[in-house]
Amino acid sequence: MNENAPIVGTTAIIGLGLIGGSMALALKDKQLTAHIIGTDLSREHEQKALELGLVDEILPLKEAVQKADLVVLAVPVNACVQLLPIVLDEVDKQVVIDTGSTKTNLVNAVVHHSKRSRYLPTHPMWGTEFSGPEAAVHGAFANKAVVFCNREESDRDVLDKVDELYQTIGMHIIHMQSEAHDEHVAYISHISHITSFALANTVLEKEKKEEAIFALASAGFESTVRLAKSPSTMWVPILLQNRENVLDVLNEHITQLEKFRDSLESKDQKRLGELMQNANKIGRVLNK
């Protein structure tokens, strides 16, 4: 497929951080596009993306969209809700995708747009706690899942093109409605970030000697609080946009914590063991 010509002539990537930069690398590494235009609110990010070779040129938003065959929105979800209608206003036959972690608000923002069918909501399920163009990673999306939402609302050629792109960079595709997507990511991603932020705050509040944290931190602690290094500029909008689902799972998480607290207060060894043994079942789920 890639031996003759790229399947996308020009790609515009809006947002040149971790995801946008990694997507640029994936498209270049697999020779899926002939030319990448970048645009970002940060001039520093734009210049760094050029220096790193993530993009071939920098253009203003509207000009970038007009010159592109594929438009990738890789900005925080609150900005994406504002930008998507503006992008679709400039679209003729372009294919437009986003990479955001919430979908319902985004889909609702363009439900009546005349170019809605040129857009496919996508969520590549990958990320790190780092940000900016320097955080971009080669091969980031290989062997990971990507969710396509509300595919029946997108044109057939849009689906085919995006399907081919994501499969070529190594992702397996899952189809969901936007509401189901937001519910499930609250359970598997958003609550994990809240837990990590809360644990980090707990340790920082109780352990005032930072050198003690550094000296005693094990691999388990480091992996548990890794997500607490994620930027608030990305995660505040995600949690607020998915507020109802996040509150639902957060309340259940608090209930589970209370069960551990109560078992410890009552010195109930049997109950404490039962809670841990029940939690061990997650291994079977993850190893399927």
- Domain match, 26 and 139 both: yes
Structure tokens at 141: 């999306």
Q: Does some domain include residue 163? A: yes
- Domain match, 165 and 69 both: yes
Would you tell me how many other CB atoms lie within 10 Å of the CB of residue 188? 10
DSSP string, 207-238: ---HHHHHHH--HHHHHHHGGGGS-HHHHHHH
Distance CA 106, CA 92 (A): 20
Task: Report the pLDDT value the prediction gives residue 2, as an integer from 0 to 100.
Answer: 45
Q: Does some domain include residue 42? A: yes
Q: Which segments in the chain show pLDDT lower than 70?
A: 1-4, 207-220
User: What pTM did the predictor assign?
Assistant: 0.89
Distance CA 269, CA 99 (A): 45
**pLDDT tens-digit series, residues 197-231:** 999 998 888 766 666 666 666 666 777 789 999 99
The one-letter amino acid code at 177 reads: Q
Task: Report the pLDDT value the prediction gives residue 100, as an integer from 0 to 100.
Answer: 96
Write down the residue that tokens 């639902």 correspond to. Answer: 248
CATH number at residue 256: 1.10.3660.10
Task: Report the pLDDT value the prediction gives residue 214, as an integer from 0 to 100.
Answer: 60
Task: Report the pLDDT value the prediction gives residue 217, as an integer from 0 to 100.
Answer: 60
- Domain closes at, from 141, 176, 211: 176
Task: Report the pLDDT value the prediction gives residue 219, as an integer from 0 to 100.
Answer: 62
Task: Report the pLDDT value the prediction gives residue 284, as an integer from 0 to 100.
Answer: 84
Phi/psi for 125 (5° steps) reads -85, 75
Q: How many distinct structural domains can be found in the chain?
A: 2
Instruction: Tell me which residue range forms the domain holding 66.
Output: 8-176
**Contact yes or no for 11/31 (Cβ under 8 A):** no
CATH number at residue 52: 3.40.50.720
Print burial letters for 129-159: b (CB count within 10 Å at least 16), e (below 16): eebbbebbeeebbeeeebbbbbbebbbeebb
- Domain closes at, from 161, 176, 191: 176
- Domain match, 166 and 223 both: no
Task: Report the pLDDT value the prediction gives residue 245, as an integer from 0 to 100.
Answer: 97
- Domain match, 170 and 246 both: no
- Domain match, 120 and 160 both: yes
Distance CA 187, CA 193 (A): 10
